[in-house]
Amino acid sequence: MNKEDKKVWLAYLAVCFFWGSTYLAIRIGVQSFPPLLFAGIRFVISGSLMLLFLKLRGAALATEKQDIINMSIVGLLMLLGGNGLVVYAEQWVNSGIASLIIATSPLFMAVIEYFILKSIKMDLKFVAGLIMGFGGVCYLMLGDSANAVVDAKGLLLLMLASLFWAAGSIHSKKIKFRGHIFANIGVQMLAGGIGLMLAALLRGELAVAEFSFSSAIYCRSGVLQKQEPMPT
């Protein structure tokens, strides 16, 4: 195995670990903290730190107004609409089901691009890949359903989240960003985080939030006693 192959495998393993653990971390966090505020703080901090780091490193940041608007739209679709609904839904749906439902995003992307935008062509291999991928998700869900009750409201929110993820992904493909790629991601996270914070304020989450070290890293026992426990 050469150096490039090792990098590919390391990148793949990193995606598997961080992607999978994200939903468990969300499930823990929403047990003790208002969901949208929880997600908003996360992305505002991460986006700000990323942009600050790149600024200190002298990386090229986005300066054109249209670029910032386009990146913000992607951030709002994927983080406010997509991640925000996932975080909100995980108050009732366990992390395993959530991660599986979000895996249907490619199916939504194909539907939007083929039937609405008419920007792609579907051949036999394309359709077979979609069927296999979606079938695999269904198989995993059926296997998990024996040990978990899927909340209908949570399921609907997760499907909407997948749709928002798909729309954000398609929009990011249609536009060309200038500047450092991580700077673009930083703007997306910051925009999505601000959108989530505003949504949290509109829901009155700030008034009921309990800021503490324990709530930032794990769920408070007092809050857990008020909610029906759900497996993760």
pLDDT digits (tens, 9 = 90+) for 72-107: 999 999 999 999 999 999 888 888 788 788 888 888
Total tally of structural domains belonging to the chain: 1
Is 2 inside a domain boundary? Answer: no
Is 14 inside a domain boundary? Answer: no
pLDDT reported for residue 201:
95
Is 122 inside a domain boundary? Answer: yes
Report the pLDDT averaged over residues 179-204.
94
Mean per-residue pLDDT of the chain = 82
pLDDT reported for residue 104:
83
Question: What is the spatial distance between Cα 51 and Cα 167, in angstroms, rounded to a whole number?
Answer: 25
Res. 212 pLDDT band, cuts 50 70 90: low
- Residue 190, C-beta contacts closer than 8 angstroms, at least 6 positions apart: 43, 44, 47, 48, 51, 75
Is 81 inside a domain boundary? Answer: yes
- Residue 137, C-beta contacts closer than 8 angstroms, at least 6 positions apart: 100, 101, 103, 104
Question: What is the spatial distance between Cα 154 and Cα 15, in angstroms, rounded to a whole number?
Answer: 25
Is 16 inside a domain boundary? Answer: no
Q: Decide if 232 contacts 95 (C-beta within 8 A).
A: yes
Q: Where does residue 134 rank: exposed (0-12), middle (13-18), buried (19+ CB within 10 A)?
A: middle
Is 231 inside a domain boundary? Answer: no
pLDDT tens digits for 157-179?
Answer: 999 999 999 999 999 988 887 77
Is 18 inside a domain boundary? Answer: no
| Domain membership of residue 86 as a residue range | 23-224
Is 58 inside a domain boundary? Answer: yes
